[in-house]
Chain A
Amino acid sequence: MRCLIGRSMGRSTGNDEMDRILSREDEILPSSGFAVYVMDAVRREAAAPPPIPFPWKRALPGLVAGGFAMALVLVAGVVTILRMARASTAPQLSLPLSLPSALTPIFELQRNLGSAAGWTLLALLVSFVSVKLSMRLASGRP
C-alpha cells in the first residue's frame, strides 16, 4: 500500500527517496504521567458545573422594551429627517406628516430642550437603562 501510493503520487525514484526520508520521522514517546495528567483535566472538566443558560425569561421583557424603544427612536429619527427636508424645501409647511400619538411626547421634549440636547438625553437614558439591566441580569438579582 505504502509503496503503491508513493509511486502513484510521484514521478520518479526521487519521490521514493523523499518517501523514505519523511517516513523515517523521529517518534517520540509520551511522558510517563501524560495520561494521568490528561485524565485529571478531563475529570475537572466533568466535575465543573454546566454553563449557566442565558436567562431568557428574565431578559425577554427588557429585550422587548429595548426593541420597542429602539424602533420608536428610529421612527422618530426618520420622521424628523423627513420633516426637516420638507421644511427646507417648503418652509410654509410646519408639520407635513401626521405623527403617531405615541411619538408626541418625544417631539414635545425635543421642542423644549432643543433637538440636539433632546436626542443626547434620550441616548444617555437608553444607555443607562441598558447598562443597569445588563448588570442586574449578570449579578443574577431578580
Chain B
Amino acid sequence: MSANEDQADVERVLTGDVSAFEGIVRRWQGPLINLAYRFCHDRGRAEEMAQEAFLRSYRALGQWRKDAAFSTWLFALATNLYRSELRRIPARNASVSLDDVAEPADARDSDGGLEERDRDSAVRRAVDALPEKYREALILFYFHEMDVTTAARTLGLPEGTFKARLFRGRDVLRGKLPQLLAVPRLKEA
C-alpha cells in the first residue's frame, strides 16, 4: 500500500475527480472492515460501519493535513466512528461481563497441551468483556501489528497513556485467565 498513491488519489478527489476515491476504497476496504469486525464481531455490521467510515472520510478529505500518514488519519476517523456506533448500539457480545468469562473447564488435552480453539475463544471473550478503554487499546495494538506509536495515534492518545491502558488490559486478562496465560517459569520453579 503506497502513501504516494493515497496522496495522489486524495489530491485528485479534492480537485473534483470523484472516481479517484475508488482507489482509496479498494486499497483500504480490507483493513477498515477487519478493524470494524474486531470491534463488533459481526460481518454485516462491520461492512456497514466501514462504508460509513469511507463516506465520512470522503466528506472530510480536505481536513487531512498530511502531517500524518493518510492511513493513520483514516484509521483514526474510522476508529472514532466505530467507537461511537458501538456506544449507540452495543455489539451483541458486549453484554458479557468479565466475571462471566471463564477458562475452559478442561483446558488441557491428552498431551498436556492446551486445546487451541477453546483457549483462543476464551481469550477473545475476555477481551470483549474488558472495559472499553482497555479493549480499544488491545484491539488497536494487535490490529496495527503491535506498533504502539501508530495504535496510540489512531486512538488520539499519548504513547504513555496508551501503554498504561495496554499494560492494565493485559494484566486484567492475565488475572482472569491465569491458566491459559500462565507463566511457564512459575511452574518450573
B162 to chain A minimum Cβ distance, whole angstroms, is 10
Q: Is B160 an interface residue (CB 8 A)?
A: no
**A22-B138 in contact (CB<8A):** yes
Partner of A35, one of B25, B119, B166, B183: B25
Q: Is B71 an interface residue (CB 8 A)?
A: no
Q: How many A-B residue pairs lie within 8 Å, measured between CB atoms?
A: 102
Q: Is A14 an interface residue (CB 8 A)?
A: yes
Give chain A residues whose Cβ lies under 8 Å from the Cβ of B7: none
- Interface of A, helix, strand, loop or mixed by DSSP: helix
B29 to chain A minimum Cβ distance, whole angstroms, is 5
- Report how far A27 CA is from B33 CA in the complex, Å: 9
Q: Provide the B1-34 mask, 1 if CB < 8 A to any CB of A, else 0.
A: 0000000000000000011011001100110011
Q: Is B142 an interface residue (CB 8 A)?
A: yes
Q: Is B163 an interface residue (CB 8 A)?
A: yes
Q: Provide the A34-51 mask, 1 if CB < 8 A to any CB of B, else 0.
A: 110111011101100000
Chain B residues proximal to chain A, CB less than 8 Å: 18-19, 21-22, 25-26, 29-30, 33-34, 37-38, 43, 46-47, 50-51, 54-55, 58-59, 119-120, 123-124, 127, 138, 142-143, 145-148, 163, 166-167, 170, 173-174, 180-185
